[in-house]
Amino acid sequence: MATERRDGLGRRELLTAAVATASVSLVRAQAPVPATPAQTTLADVPLAEGTTITVERRDDIALIGINRPAKQNRLDSVTRKRLGEALYAYEHDASLRAAVLFGHGERFTRGIDVDEAQVSLLAPPGAAPSAPTIDILGKATPPTGKPVICVAHGDTWNLGHEIYLACDIRVATANTRFGQDENTHGRFPGGGATVRFVREVNHPHCRMMYDTFHANIEEKKIPDAIRSCTKETVHVHISENDRGTPGEGHVAWDETFDTLKQVGYDGWMVVEAFGLALPALAAATKIWRRMFRDEEQLSADALTFMKREWGKRC
C-alpha cells in the first residue's frame, strides 16, 4: 500500500488498532487512571512529503509510522532521531498507554540507511540533540517503560529486525520477510537478533550458524561468544581470517575448538574459503590474490586441520 487512506481504516490500521486495544486493555487493568487530565506531550504528525516519522493519536494509543518508502523505509540518522523523540514524548505523556510502531508502504523497514550512515560517521560531530530521545533498542538509553507494539509486514531486515525483536508485543503479517544479512555486506549486526530470533521462534527447524571468520572480527571473547549460542548452533563455518586455508592465519583456533568441545557441540563443521574462480564473489569478499594453490589442495589441508584439531580433544 503506497499511501495511507485517511477516509477509512486500512488493513494495517485495523490490525494495529486491534493489537493496541488488546494491549491497552491489559495495561488499563493494571494501572490506575489519572485523577486529573494528563498533559499531552506527543503531538500528531500527519503523513506528508518529507515527514519520515508520523504520529497519529487515537484516544490513549499512539500510532507511530516509519515513512521513507522511496528508501525502502531505511532509517537514516534524522529518522532515527525523530523516532527516538517520538518514543520519549510517548513515554512521558501520561495520557497515552500504548504505542504501535509500523511502516508505511510496502514494508516495515530494510534497516539502516547504509549510504547515509557512512557519510554521518565520517562527518565532524554536530550540535548536541535539541530534544531528548529514547533508543528503542535500549542500548544508548533505557527502553520505554510503557508497551510498544510492532506490526511488521514485507521486508523486515537488519536494524528493522532488531527493532521488531526489541518491542514488547510483536505481530507479523504472512508476507513478512525477516533478514539478518549484515555480514553479507561487510557490516556488523549490533543487537544480537540472530540468537534472539531463534530463541523466540523456538522451532527445531530454526537454528543458527557460527562463523569463525566473523567471530574473529566482531567478538571480544571467543569462548563467551560460543557459549552464548550453544543451544542454537547446529553448523560451524571453519574459516580463516583471510578466507584462505584454515590453520594458516591468526583465528583463535585453540579457544574455538576447546570451547566447542567443552559445550558438547556435535554438529556440522564446514570449511569456508574463497578463491578467484568466481570474479563477482571474489570482489564481494575482497579477495585480490590467490589464497591457495587449488581447491583440491585447500579441501585436503582443511579436512586434515579439522580432524587434527578435533582429534586432540577427544
Q: What is the pLDDT of residues 299-312, one digit of tens each?
A: 999 999 999 999 99
Q: How far is 13 from 95, CA to CA, in rounded Å?
A: 21
Based on the domain organization, do 38 and 120 belong to the same domain? yes
Q: How far is 199 from 272, CA to CA, in rounded Å?
A: 26
Based on the domain organization, do 283 and 135 belong to the same domain? no
Q: Got the DSSP string for 215-275? A: HHHH-S-HHHHHHHTTTTEEEEEE--TTSSSTTSS-S-HHHHHHHHHHTT--SEEEE----
Mean of per-residue pLDDT scores for the chain: 84
- Banded pLDDT at 60 (limits 50, 70, 90): very high
Higher local confidence (pLDDT), 117 or 240: 240
| pTM of the complete model beyond 0.85 | no
- What is the 8-class DSSP label of residue 24? H
What's the mean pLDDT in 171-196?
Answer: 75
pLDDT beyond 50 at 48: yes
Q: How far is 146 from 98, CA to CA, in rounded Å?
A: 6
Number of domains in the chain: 2
**Which of residues 158, 173, 205 is at a domain's end?**
205
Please state, as a whole number, how many other Cβ atoms lie within 10 Å of the Cβ of residue 301.
19
**Which of residues 167, 185, 205 is at a domain's end?**
205
- Is residue 149 within 8 Å of residue 168, measured between CB atoms? yes
Q: How far is 93 from 60, CA to CA, in rounded Å?
A: 10
pLDDT beyond 80 at 34: no
**Which of residues 172, 205, 238 is at a domain's end?**
205
